[in-house]
Amino acid sequence: MRLFKRRSDVPEVSAPVAAEAAPVLPDPPADTQVGRRVADQRDYLLSLVHPLPAFGMYLLDAWGTAVCEEIIADGNLPAADLAVASGYAVRVDDLHGLDELGSAKLRVRDDAAAFKVGSAVQVRAGQPLPSGADAVIPLDDAALDGSTLSVTHPVRSGDHVRWAGSEVRAGMPIIRSGERLDARRSALLALAGIDRVLARPHPRVVVLSVVGDDPARADIESPLLAAAFKADGAQVWRVSNASGTDRELRDTISDQLIRADLVVVCGDLSDEAQLPRVVASMGLVDMADVACQPGGRM
């Protein structure tokens, strides 16, 4: 096999490459007498961004995100009747004939597979019930004397039992596309043997504040914005009090784009300020007075 391509005497003719059209911003919404409406500004900004691509994520990493697939249960969840509390698995029918003292006695057996009439089997919380049992008596509600269990409290079928399929029936969705992955759904997916889901990652956002003409001015905007992004589920970094020449500020913003899906810069946006001038040199810019207070120019 040839590892190197030898030069050919035939001149290569490259196909003409069509010039790409210069990028332009879509037409912004019309301004009112008091400025651009907040809803119009929000919708306009959202039209300029695209959802992050979805990929397979482990359940813990995807916690709090909206999944991008519907996952159907192959079987009942849980698959078997489970004990909710540690105690003794019993048949309620064996407890109907209480004696004059208001108690019943059952024989505790060690063989859970051979559940017989008039017997009880010790179980732990989360353990499948022996076949034939339909209730669990917690340890605190029964007295054990050797191998004899005395029952002094009323017991009903289903007490301290999680029935098979009580969470999700076979063929039903465990989670639907667009639903957020929470602790309960994570546990159900793990119970079904699923450790990953198709989801979009939390967006990475950098909030950067720029020092204006007054370096002593308190930075209020960046903590407020960072907290708002955090509350909406973003992974947030805050860079405060950026300063320097136009080139240094441009490099600072560019460096943050390496680790962020979105960079939000706050600072003085007046016509003579440094921030609008630097941002305009980096690409397309839309500047508008938005009808909100506090807020204003964005």
Element containing residue 278 per DSSP (H, E): helix 274-280
Bigger pLDDT: 111 or 213? 111
Q: Give residue 60's pLDDT band: very low, low, confident or very high (50, 70, 90).
A: very high
What is the overall mean pLDDT for the chain?
82
Per-residue pLDDT, 4: 44
Percent of the chain exceeding pLDDT 90 equals 27
Question: What one-character DSSP code corresponds to residue 283?
Answer: S
In this predicted structure, the answer to whether residue 14 has a pLDDT above a threshold of 80 is: no
Per-residue pLDDT, 40: 85
Bigger pLDDT: 229 or 242? 229
In terms of Cα–Cα distance, which of 131, 134, 93 is closest to 113? 131
In this predicted structure, the answer to whether residue 260 has a pLDDT above a threshold of 70 is: yes
Q: What residue spans define the domains of the chain?
A: 38-52+203-297, 68-77+166-199, 82-162
In this predicted structure, the answer to whether residue 2 has a pLDDT above a threshold of 50 is: no
The mean per-residue pLDDT over the stretch 199-218 comes to 80
Residues 155-192: tens digit of each pLDDT: 888 889 999 998 899 999 999 999 999 999 999 999 99
Class of the CATH-defined domain 82-162: mainly beta
**3-state class (DSSP) for residue 14:** coil
Element containing residue 119 per DSSP (H, E): strand 119-123
Alpha-carbon span 218 to 145, nearest angstrom = 73
Per-residue pLDDT, 236: 92
Domain 38-52+203-297 in CATH 3.30.2130.30? The answer is: no
Residues linked to residue 119 through DSSP beta bridges, in sequence order: 107
In this predicted structure, the answer to whether residue 143 has a pLDDT above a threshold of 80 is: no
Alpha helices in 47-150 (DSSP H): 59-62
Residues 279-289: tens digit of each pLDDT: 888 888 877 78
| pTM, two decimal places | 0.68
Cis peptide before 294 (omega within 30 of 0): yes
Q: For residue 265, give every residue at least 6 positions away whose Cβ sits within 8 Å of its Cβ, in sequence order, or none.
A: 208, 209, 210, 253, 275, 279
